Structure 1
Amino acid sequence: MKRTIILVALTLVFCALYSDLFFSEYIEGSSNNKALEIFNPTESDVDLSDYFIKSNYNGNDWTTEVYEFPDGTVLAAGEVWVLAHAEASSTILAQADDVLSFSEAGYVVSFNGNDARALFKQDGANEIMLDVIGVQSQDPGDGWDVAGVSAGTKEHTLVRKPSVLTGTTDWNAAAGYDAGSSQWLVYEQDTFTYLGYHEIEGEDITPPILTNAVAESETSVKLSFSEAVEETSAENLANYSITNLTIDTIELLASNSSVLITTSAQTEEETYTITVNNVQDLAGNVIEANSTIDFTGFVPFQYDQIADIQNNLQDYMGSQVTVAGVVTIGDGLLQSGRTKFYIQDGSGRGIQVYNSSMLPTSYARGDSIEVTGIIDKYNDDVEITSPQVTLLSENASLPEPHIITGDEELPMNGTWAEATGTVVDNWDSEYGFTQITIDIGDNVEIPLMFWDTTGADVSEYVIGDEVIANGVIAFYEGAIQLTCGYEEDIRIDATLPVIKEFSITSDAMEEFGLEHPFYDEEIRVSAEIVDYDGEIVADSLRLLQDEQIVYSESLTHVGDDIYEAVIPAVTDLGLEAGYYTIKIWAQDNDDNVVENLKEIEITTRAPIVTNIDLQNSPEAGDTLDVMVEIEDTDGSVQEAQLVYTLDFYDKVYYSELQQDETNPEKFSGNIPPQKAGVAVHIGVYAIDDSGDETLKFDLATYTYPVKTHTAILKLPARPFKPHEGEKIPINYYSQKGDKIILRIYNAEGKLMFTPRNEIIAAEDGINEYEWDGRDKYNKLLPIGLYICHLEVFNRETGNKKTEKAPIVIGTELK
């Protein structure tokens, strides 16, 4: 509860006018800067247990939930009670007696200008309205007019006039039609000056006092009085003196309660004393003789440096800072429905600005802004939260980017950066982003993240493109990546030639769909080599084994940037089957050089599995029949087997294949009976008459069906190491239409995470979830035993089945 200034000599008769509590201030500011102030004008302390506040929105009924004052709260005579939104600015929260979340107590401090609030008192069975802001049954649009100000209840601060001594249930009378008829004074949005105290009128016998003095510049100081003062005495130089300074002029400011004193030059941080005499208030009361107040010599404002925040985060966590910088990635691009953008200052570091809801103004790349807020951290991102933003200018130049090396550490997060390299992957994920990975040299790969919310189309970039990318540095599980916000944040590096669409093929690869050529056939190589600012003037192809060149020739330009070459069969080169490297090299007319490598395996003519066919669809407990076609291009197959694993590939099993007597390329065999829900992963092993072998896994998979409503849960029987980035697959069976809940508990039975709570829309079968060892707060769990618990609900019958299995989070012994 805050002190109230009562500028009166109260008599018992006058006190009778002060009937009961009423609203003395209402703040509807930017973002969540919202507060209500209740004033006790009586001469007695008031127990607030019988008082409450009702809320409504947009002309609807009062909400069923009301705000009740904390138990035992007593509001002293002449004091105020302040309710504030929990995410309001620190200035508001410093005055708050109670803070509430968005939806708490009937959304009492979550109003938007068109929502009424009323103060009630419980009198037996009766609810008596004491005071009201707005009209409960009316939707005014943006807000109600107050004191002639259109929509004054929206984006304004309202303060009850000192002349108002009691509340009223007639909002229209209280709002008035102009400044004179209104009970309220209307101030600009985010005016917090009057919060925490309230003034009422009466017979004024109290002299003014000095309340504050602050240097506004090195040659001026603002001196404030407790009330309005008379102009002549307030501007009389003879009434003032300041130690060690000369006073040049004194000007009474528009508030009539402050003066601006111009002085000789002050010394930074030196303490000065102002002495005041003979200044009168408007009632003629004279300030106490030789009243004094101190102030500190002017210190120019200094912004907090982002580099200092990032490098000394432990000193800033939870603290308020003010920074100024240029927006590098604008608002609305990285997350919808919330404020999230990046700025960078002259210290060469950047930081994220975050708010759980959208700010009234959206800030774009190139805006120069000032941000005040609280330092926080989410995962590896350092943030300024609950921001108050001021636009300083537009179209500022972006800072010089940091050049990515791959060795950056966490304090670089949020920093504007640049990476140059070769595209090695372009992944349009199903998780709301496209990730382009580039190799910047020495096998250092940097992911470039383009979130779908940016609207950037980067599908044109393909493997082999030389690109330049800009963005802000981010970290995912400790690994560096670059967050990009716009299509122009990636572009072709036109200064370098690019090798694109580098491919190899052979007759056998084309005929049988093989991934590698045979050792006795030639290999055809094709590549697209592009030079954007000139032409290719030299090129070569080399075949290497163990880093030694075993074959070399020039490429043939066949048109449209396509170059081709043919490598003879390695047997013709006197070589054997094995692992080789094909290297393409090119040089442009500016002497820029590019090369690309492709590792290949060249094999003997081992048997080829050309087809595998499951001959039946067995029930649980039945044999699975399999037919396989195997071709050997330089002899005949001597032996073949089915190679299969169950569920998680923990163990390999074999089953003989029988050769068809009429067609030597056909083989048949079977998998022994399995239980319901077991997944069988089937491969083939074969050896020919030359001793060449083929071993292929995962050529087909069959899951034994489950015919009854049940819960089947399967996990690998081994520890996993999430601290090293490993994930564990969790397989669970469900039937179409079932509701499943998958939970993970610790060994003490405490719920840590709920990976799945959903209705299965797909067909019957095995579903898989990969768990990364994190809890519901995205924190890695410690080493130990955990229990995975599955519940399956049949929505038609209501039957529930459960299953559980252990999970061990471990690590390698050191």
Structure 2
Amino acid sequence: MKLALLAADFSAPSMADVIISQYVEGSSLNKVIELYNAGTDSADLSEYSLAIFSNGNASPSQSTSLSGTLAAGDALVIGSVANFGGDSAVIDLDYELFHNGNDVIALSRNGEFVDVMGQIGDSANFAKDVTLRRGAGVNTGDADGSDAFSVGAEWVECTSPSKDDFSGLGEHDIDEPCSGGHGGPGAEVLSIMAVQGASHQSPYVGQTVTVQGVVTAVQGSAFYLQDASGDGNLRTSDAILVFGSGHGADVGDELEVTGQVTEYTPGGSGTGNLSTTELTSPQIALLSTGNALPAPLQIGEGFLPPTAVIDSDGLAVFNPETDAIDWFEALEAMRVSVQQPLVIGPTDKYTETWVIPSALAAERNARGGVTIADGDYKPYRIQVDFDDRIYPGETAPVANVGDTLSGLT
């Protein structure tokens, strides 16, 4: 008699393990939850629901059933498209979440908890004003809603501060959770010059980008970031304004900043005012401190604004060589220095002073100012505005027509 040996398959059965992989508890309604299928098979999301237990309550204040399928290794981002402060294209399920830093997030499958973030019944803050990602190698959820929550090895805060950090949403990396995604540490770094572009508006408006540079000035909730060396292209600015409260930046810091590119127009677009290119909702990584500031660009002999034309084409063509409005746009947010500026307008009550470079001294009239005429508005005039947010505790200099300043940066 012969015995036949049958090969048995002892490999693990395919399974779906959906976990909470990213948590955003940001300003206003910037509330987002990312789910990730860490299993080996597609997940039937109709078996899953997401609930929020608010303020220590034992019953959920908000709950939604999911639908569709989630492939193994894929992520699902849940949040409000209308209220999300980042790139809304990353939102997969448009659902408004209302969790705060003391509210428990619970993912259930067929009515049973499979992953709980927080401790049900406890009203203490455990994740306020932060973005957290699941730690490296974590592929199963915490199904116990009664145990205490701590960040520990289970969760990681990839940027500091992490409030309104939207990077990586939709691209969870189970091995390297801070590797990047939609911006943040590890993302592709663009030059500031590329983000500014040779135009009045950035070619990246509405997109989330990552840049690097040195902080040249801090202005309350904003700071100026400039490329350390620049590219020598006088048609593109080397610097950009970064806006975000609690940024913690100091002059001389070298930073990697991820933010959404916006064009801010004072008073709104209907005013006809020019916009300023900004990075908003920034996520900041400190690279080094105490760096020398980029040398200011010298405005004077050999590099002067156009003296006759403000705008020849209604901003249709970007030509800083001939149009003064484009020439100044190409210097937006940069450090500049005016060589021996001549005062053509006295300092007013707003600490604003009008000057021209000494190389244009011949443009002055007999009284030391410049004469404006119809069709000749002297577009080379430079308004100097003393900002006590940049120079706190210092007194604004006062100058009069005919004065010559030793320098201006």
User: TM-score interval w.r.t. the shorter chain?
Assistant: 0.5 to 0.7
Partner of 1:157: 133
Contact preservation (8 Å) 1:306, 1:323 = no
Cα distance, 1:166 vs. partner?
Answer: 7.5
Gaps of 5+ in 1: 1-6, 145-150, 200-226, 228-254, 256-300, 472-814
**Cα gap change, 1:45/1:396 in structure 2, threshold over 3 Å: closer, same or farther?**
closer
Distance in 2 separating the partners of 1:388 and 1:158: 18
* Partners of 2:38 and 2:389 in 1: CA distance: 51
Give yes or no for contact 1:425–1:437 (8 Å, CA) kept in 2. yes
Match of 1:364 among 232, 250, 269: 250
Alignment counterpart, residue 405 of structure 2, candidates 467, 480, 492: 467
**Conserved 8 A contact 2:202-2:277:** no
Judging changes above 3 Å, is the alpha-carbon distance between structure 1 residues 140 and 468 closer, same or farther for their aligned structure 2 residues? farther
Structure 1 SS opposite 2:119: coil
Distance 1:373 1:439, change over 3 A: same
Structure 1: which amino acid aligns with 2:197? Q
* 2:250 aligned counterpart, secondary structure: coil
**Which residue does 1:311 correspond to in 2?**
198
In structure 2, relative to structure 1, the CA distance for the partners of 1:425 and 1:63 (3 Å cut) is: farther
* Pairing 1:25–2:21 present: yes
Asked if 1 retains the 8 angstrom alpha-carbon contact of 2:116 and 2:142, the reply is no
Q: Deviations over 1:263-299 (max 9, x none)?
A: xxxxxxxxxxxxxxxxxxxxxxxxxxxxxxxxxxxxx
Alignment correspondent of 1:412: 331
Aligned-partner Cα distance in 2 for 1:198–1:329: 36
Counterpart pick for 1:83 among 78, 86, 98: 78
Deviations 1:387-412 (A, max 9, x none): 44333332322223223444333222
C-alpha distance in 2, partners of 1:351/1:133?
A: 41
> Are 2:353 and 1:436 equivalent residues in the alignment?
yes
The one-letter code sitting in structure 1 at the alignment partner of 2:333 is G
| Residue equivalent to 1:346 | 229
- Check conservation: 1:423, 1:466, Cα contact below 8 A: no
Q: CA deviation at 1:84?
A: 5.7
State how far apart, in whole Å, the 1-side matches of 2:18 and 2:385 are: 54
Structure 2: how far apart are the matches of 1:165 and 1:133?
9
Higher relative contact order (CA 8 A, sep 6+): 2
Aligned counterparts of 1:195 and 1:308: Cα–Cα separation in 2: 24
Three-state SS of the structure 2 residue aligned to 1:426 is: coil
Show the counterpart of 2:52: 54
| Partner of residue 214 from structure 2, selected from 326, 329, 350 | 326
User: Would you say 1:98 and 2:93 are equivalent positions?
Assistant: yes
Question: What is the aligned-residue RMSD (CA, Å)?
Answer: 4.9
1:230-289 superposed Cα distances (whole Å, 9 cap, x missing partner):
xxxxxxxxxxxxxxxxxxxxxxxxx9xxxxxxxxxxxxxxxxxxxxxxxxxxxxxxxxxx
Shift of the 54–38 alpha-carbon distance from structure 1 to 2, 3 Å rule, reads: farther
TM-score with structure 2 length normalisation? 0.57
What is the percent sequence identity of the aligned residues?
18
Q: 1:427 to 1:8 in 2, by over 3 A?
A: farther
Give 5+ residue unaligned stretches, structure 2.
1-9, 160-164, 177-187, 266-274, 307-326, 364-369, 371-379
> What's the counterpart of residue 399 of structure 1?
294
User: Is residue 34 of structure 2 the alignment partner of residue 36 of structure 1?
Assistant: yes
What is the CA–CA distance in structure 1 between the aligned matches of 2:109 and 2:121, rounded to whole Å?
A: 20
Partner of 1:425: 346
Aligned-residue offset at 1:122: 10
Q: Aligned partners of 1:165 and 1:308: how far apart in 2?
A: 40
Is the Cα contact below 8 Å between 2:192 and 2:240 reproduced in 1?
no
CA 1:166/1:329 → structure 2, altered by over 3 Å: closer, same or farther?
closer
Q: Aligned partners of 1:62 and 1:340: how far apart in 2?
A: 44
2:291 match: secondary structure? coil
Hey, what does 1:134 align to over in structure 2? Answer: 118
Cα distance in 2 for residues equivalent to 1:62 and 1:447: 61
Deviates more, 1:305-314 or 1:341-350: 305-314
Contact 1:351 1:383 in 2 (8 A): no
Post-superposition shift, 1:357?
A: 4.0
Report the counterpart of residue 315 of structure 2 in structure 1: none
Could you tell me which amino acid in structure 1 is paired with residue 44 of structure 2? D
12, 15, 38: which one pairs with 1:9?
A: 12
Q: Deviations over 1:423-478 (max 9, x none)?
A: 6232334xxxx42333544235322223453435434514244335645xxxxxxx
User: What pairs up with 1:594-605 in 2 under 5 angstroms?
Assistant: none
Between Structure 1 and Structure 2, which shows a larger proportion of strand residues? 1
Task: Say which SS state the counterpart of residue 428 (structure 1) adopts.
Answer: coil
**Which runs of structure 2 are paired with 1:265-344 in the superposition (5 Å)?**
304=191, 306=193, 309-311=196-198, 315-319=203-207, 321-330=209-218, 333=219, 335-336=220-221, 339-344=222-227
Matched to 1:10, the amino acid is P
Secondary structure in 1 aligned to 2:134? Answer: strand
The answer on whether the counterparts of 2:353 and 2:385 sit within 8 Å (CA) in structure 1 is yes
8 Å contact from structure 1 (residues 26, 159) kept in 2: no
In structure 2, relative to structure 1, the CA distance for the partners of 1:350 and 1:29 (3 Å cut) is farther
Q: From the superposition, tell whether residues 157 and 351 of structure 1 become closer, same or farther in structure 2 (CA, over 3 Å).
A: same
User: 1:422·1:463 contact (CA, 8 Å) conserved in 2?
Assistant: yes
Cα distance, 1:26 vs. partner?
3.5
* Structure 1 contact 26–35 (Cα < 8 Å) conserved: yes
Tell me if the contact between 1:326 and 1:345 (Cα under 8 Å) persists in the aligned partners: yes
What is aligned with 1:189? 158
- Check if 1:389 corresponds to 2:284: yes
Output the amino acid matched with 2:134: L
2:68 alignment partner in structure 1: 74
2: CA distance, partners of 1:317 / 1:401: 27
Relative distance call for 1:372 and 1:189 in structure 2 (3 A) is closer
Conserved 8 A contact 1:34-1:84: yes
* Matched length: 314
- Give the CA deviation at 1:365: 2.0
Shift of 1:417: 0.9
Pick the aligned partner of 2:146 from 170, 180, 188: 170
The structure-2 alpha-carbon separation of the partners of 1:30 and 1:352, relative to structure 1 and needing over 3 Å to count, comes to farther
- C-alpha deviation, 1:82, in angstroms: 2.8
Residue 321 (structure 2) aligns with: none
- Write out per-residue CA displacement over residues 360-382 of structure 1, whole angstroms, 9 at most, x where no aligned residue: xx222222333344443223322
Alpha carbons 2:31, 2:97 under 8 Å: kept: no
Q: Who is 2:320 aligned against? A: none
Q: Contact 1:327–1:367 at 8 Å: present in 2 too?
A: yes
Structure exhibiting the larger radius of gyration computed from Cα positions: 1
Note the alpha carbon deviations across 1:660-716, whole angstroms, 9 max, x for none: xxxxxxxxxxxxxxxxxxxxxxxxxxxxxxxxxxxxxxxxxxxxxxxxxxxxxxxxx
Check whether the contact 2:353–2:384 (CA below 8 A) recurs between aligned residues.
yes
State the shift of 1:96 in Å: 4.8
Which one-letter code corresponds to 2:255 in the other structure? Answer: I
Q: 1:345 to 1:30 in 2, by over 3 A?
A: farther
CA apart distance, 1:76? 4.8
Aligned mates of 1:168, 1:463 — CA distance in 2: 73
Name the amino acid aligned to 2:144. T
